[in-house]
Amino acid sequence: MRVKHSYRLVLPEFALTELCLAHDAGAIAHSIPLKSTMYHYREFGYGESGGTNRFQYKHFPVIVSSSGAPWHEVNLYLIALVTQEWKLDMSTYHSIAGDLAAFRRFLDEENQSSDRPMAFDCFPQSKNLRPTYRFRAHLQNLVNCGELKPSTAKRRMRRIISLYRWCIEEKLVRPDYPPWIEKTIQVHYKDSKGLPTSKTCITTDLKIIAAESADPYSQTINDGGRLRPLPADEQIALVEVLIASANIEMRLIHLIALLTGARTQTILTMRIRDFSKDIPTSISEVRIPVGPGTLVDTKRNKKIILHMPAWLYRKLQLYIRSERAETRREKSVDQTETQYIFLTNRGTPYYESKVAAAASPHAKRHKKVGQTAREFIRAQTIPKVSQKLNRDFSYSLHDLRATYGMNKTDIQMERVQRGEITLHQARMIVMGLMGHDSPEQTDRYLNFRSYRAGILAAQEQHEAHLNVISGYSQGDKI
């Protein structure tokens, strides 16, 4: 017999409502067929208009227990998060809901396999019987066995603590004994200018312990995830495969990632109007603002400037005016300059922006978040590059951001060695190009070579890589 588990469910549309009387303004009648009961409800509103603005959400996550019923406390918590923070992008809440569903599955499995049942809101005298401590032990065991990344375990524990803090504050949970023990610590770090500073933080005894040691042979850089800068020979092979491909959109998308360091969500939400300027032939670089106020998505809604080679900017202008692009736009509803540059052959976006998702009157079961690009990489570029290199090869579009960062770092470090700039100046240049929040992020690129000497091929391979791209930059070919 198959055991049912708790899970995360995504509702295409969700509106926050309240029960009301039949004669109340905005009352909507609704019947429950199983009980032959009639009740009335109305939507919550906000603003000076007296409620004309509604709390309505698309792709709202909820947690369903193994019995099929919604998990009361956690779903109220998710509603509170969304209504208080009011973020346009639901992906953050999907991640939170996924971690909370993992916690609920743990509770279900413990209750099925243990002779000592454990309730979500029960905190007995023994620490080992409290759900927070038992879940922490469970996560620690998975980390120790290598079945769960330490970062994932730590994130889940933080989110469970946040859940209980809210439940206790709202008096949904009244623990007889503390869910954890808190203490105050000082955390030392460097500010945006590289100066040492510190801040006071509250920590708990639910900390996940994981040894974090620098691996001198690691091929990845921690920059919003573990990213792998591609060696020069892989860059060359990848660009050659893309140039030979008939998929012009994927070719241009890859080149933007490789030559600007832009993330997938940024590239796929660029608009036609971002490439409307006529630039003189003397200009070698075009600066493109992205983020709030531009309709182009960025991580954490941060406003940054992309530095794009002028020749690539012109190729994108050429593509926008091409018959291929116009045919795709004709299949879409939006024919204006705010339309995405890249559309599928059906006229649909590769990635639906946060603003568009919030404004759309129709909710879709699955939001467009670059699935087509990932499938192209899996089915087309990875096999062909592997064959060209005659070895296993794998990458993600996001890895090209780290590749861009390392290419720029190499250039600046060569300038440091020639005495043209200082190491601090090199750090600040790379930090600005990558849009980093702190020098520590940038230092991971500056230190990468010293940890992994020889990760890239010889200088002539790097020059060949540049020649491939430079050769493509000539002429009118898109």
- Cα 177 from chain centroid (whole Å): 37
The CB density around residue 214, as the number of other CB atoms within 10 Å, is 7
169, 192, 207 — which closes off a domain? 169
Average pLDDT, the chain: 85
Looking at residue 456, its pLDDT comes to 44
Q: Is the pLDDT of residue 224 over 90?
A: no
- Inside any domain, residue 392: yes
Looking at residue 433, its pLDDT comes to 92
The arithmetic mean of pLDDT across residues 364-379, rounded, is 81
pLDDT digits 0-9 by tens, 17-27:
877 787 777 77
pLDDT band at 438 (very low <50, low <70, confident <90, very high): confident
Q: Which two tokens stand for residue 122?
A: 């029960």
- Closest listed residue to residue 140, CA positions, set 215, 79, 91, 205: 205
124, 147, 169 — which closes off a domain? 169
Read off the CATH number of the domain in which 403 is found.
1.10.443.10
pLDDT digits 0-9 by tens, 169-204:
999 999 999 999 999 888 877 665 667 788 888 899
- Closest listed residue to residue 74, CA positions, set 9, 5, 3, 20: 9
Looking at residue 472, its pLDDT comes to 72
Alpha-carbon distances of 246 from 91, 215, 249, 324, rounded to whole Å = 32, 40, 9, 12
- Inside any domain, residue 435: yes
The arithmetic mean of pLDDT across residues 270-291, rounded, is 94
Looking at residue 188, its pLDDT comes to 79
Q: Among 36-45, 132-141, 271-280, 381-390, where is mean pLDDT lowest?
A: 36-45
- Judge if 108 and 249 occupy the same domain: no
Q: Among 174-183, 347-356, 423-432, where is mean pLDDT lowest?
A: 347-356
The arithmetic mean of pLDDT across residues 119-140, rounded, is 94
- Judge if 374 and 252 occupy the same domain: yes
Looking at residue 47, its pLDDT comes to 43
For residue 55, what are the domain limits? 7-169
- Judge if 388 and 286 occupy the same domain: yes
Length reported for the chain? 478
One-letter-per-residue 3-state SS of the chain: CCCCCCEEEEEEEEECEEEECCCCCCCEEEEECCCCEEEEEEECEECCCCCCEECEEEEEEEEECCCCCECHHHHHHHHHHHHHHCCCCCHHHHHHHHHHHHHHHHHHHHHHHCCCCCCCCCCCCCHHHCHHHHHHHHHHHHHHCCCCCHHHHHHHHHHHHHHHHHHHHCCCCCCCCCCCCEEEEEEEEECCCCCEEEEEEEEECCCCCCCCCCCCCCCCEECCCEECCCCHHHHHHHHHHHHHCCCHHHHHHHHHHHHHCCCHHHHCCCEHHHHCCCCCCCCCEEEEEEECCCCECCHHHCCEEEEEEHHHHHHHHHHHCCHHHHHHHHCCCCCCCCCECCECCCCCECECCHHHHHHCCCCCCCCCECHHHHHHHHHHHHHHHHHHHCCCCCCCCCHHHHHHHHHHHHHHHHHHHCCCCCHHHHHHHHHHHHCCCCHHHHHHHHCHHHHCCCCCCCHHHHHHHHHHHHHHHCCCCC
Q: Is the pLDDT of residue 314 over 90?
A: yes
- Judge if 322 and 462 occupy the same domain: yes
Q: Among 224-228, 262-266, 394-398, 429-433, where is mean pLDDT lowest?
A: 224-228
- Judge if 446 and 358 occupy the same domain: yes
- Inside any domain, residue 308: yes
Q: Is the pLDDT of residue 447 over 50?
A: yes
Give the range with max mean pLDDT: 67-76, 84-93, 195-204, 305-314: 305-314
Q: At what angle do helices 91-113 and 150-169 cross, to 10 degrees?
A: 90
By percentage, how much of the chain surpasses pLDDT 90? 55
Looking at residue 333, its pLDDT comes to 86
The residue that leads in pLDDT, 87 or 85, is: 85
The CB density around residue 111, as the number of other CB atoms within 10 Å, is 13
- Inside any domain, residue 402: yes
Q: Is the pLDDT of residue 223 over 70?
A: yes
Looking at residue 419, its pLDDT comes to 93
- Judge if 243 and 164 occupy the same domain: no
Q: Which two tokens stand for residue 30?
A: 């609704």
Looking at residue 274, its pLDDT comes to 95
- Judge if 134 and 236 occupy the same domain: no
The CB density around residue 139, as the number of other CB atoms within 10 Å, is 24
The CB density around residue 68, as the number of other CB atoms within 10 Å, is 8
- Judge if 260 and 403 occupy the same domain: yes
Looking at residue 466, its pLDDT comes to 59
Q: Is the pLDDT of residue 111 over 80?
A: yes
Q: Among 74-83, 246-255, 422-431, 446-455, where is mean pLDDT lowest?
A: 446-455
CB of 397 closer than 8 Å to CB of 374:
yes
- Inside any domain, residue 341: yes
* Alpha-carbon gap, residue 473 to 311, rounded angstroms: 6
- Inside any domain, residue 208: no
Number of domains in the chain: 2
CB of 57 closer than 8 Å to CB of 367:
no
Looking at residue 49, its pLDDT comes to 41
Threshold 0.95, pTM exceeds: no
Looking at residue 368, its pLDDT comes to 76
- Judge if 406 and 337 occupy the same domain: yes
- Judge if 386 and 284 occupy the same domain: yes
* Alpha-carbon gap, residue 437 to 448, rounded angstroms: 19
- Inside any domain, residue 189: no
Query: Whole-angstrom distance between the N-terminal and C-terminal Cα of the chain?
Result: 57
Looking at residue 219, its pLDDT comes to 79
Looking at residue 50, its pLDDT comes to 44
Q: Is the pLDDT of residue 271 over 80?
A: yes
- Phi and psi at residue 348, in whole multiples of 5°? -105, 155
Amino acid at the residue 204: T
Q: Is the pLDDT of residue 319 over 50?
A: yes
Q: Which two tokens stand for residue 163?
A: 């859940």
Alpha-carbon distances of 459 from 182, 417, 420, rounded to whole Å = 53, 16, 20
- Inside any domain, residue 336: yes
pLDDT band at 113 (very low <50, low <70, confident <90, very high): confident
Buried b (16+ CB within 10 A) or exposed e, 445-465: bbebeeebeebbbeeebbeeb
The residue that leads in pLDDT, 135 or 216, is: 135
- Judge if 140 and 266 occupy the same domain: no
- Judge if 163 and 231 occupy the same domain: no
Phi-psi region of 2 (alpha: psi -120 to 50; beta: other; left: phi over 0): beta
The arithmetic mean of pLDDT across residues 303-325, rounded, is 96
- Closest listed residue to residue 75, CA positions, set 65, 87, 64, 62: 62
By percentage, how much of the chain surpasses pLDDT 70? 82
